[in-house]
């Protein structure tokens, strides 16, 4: 059974692609992206735990 670790991070709208690509390069998979009232999104990521 795979064990997961999780990360929650704000995503600034003007740099969203760069931020998401950086997480992806580090092995994080985007689970969901939720809009926040402050105008930036909140990203939830997961990756297999080591």
Instruction: State pLDDT tens for residues 19-49.
Output: 999 999 999 999 999 998 888 899 999 999 9
Global model pTM greater than 0.75: yes
Burial of 23 (C-beta count, 10 Å sphere; 0-12/13-18/19+)? middle
pLDDT of residue 50: 84
Query: Would you say 43 and 23 are in contact if contact means Cβ atoms under 8 Å apart?
Result: yes
Mind listing the pLDDT tens digit for each residue in 5-20?
Answer: 999 999 998 899 999 9
Residues linked to residue 10 through DSSP beta bridges, in sequence order: 42
The two tokens of residue 7 are 């990360």
Q: Is the dihedral of CA 47, 5, 34, 31 positive or negative?
A: positive
CB 27 within 8 A of CB 7: no
């Amino acid at each position: 059974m795979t064990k997961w670790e999780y990360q929650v991070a704000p995503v600034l709208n003007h740099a969203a692609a760069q931020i998401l690509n950086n997480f992806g390069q580090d092995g994080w998979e985007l689970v969901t992206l939720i809009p926040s009232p402050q105008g930036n999104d909140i990203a939830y990521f997961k990756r297999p735990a080591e």
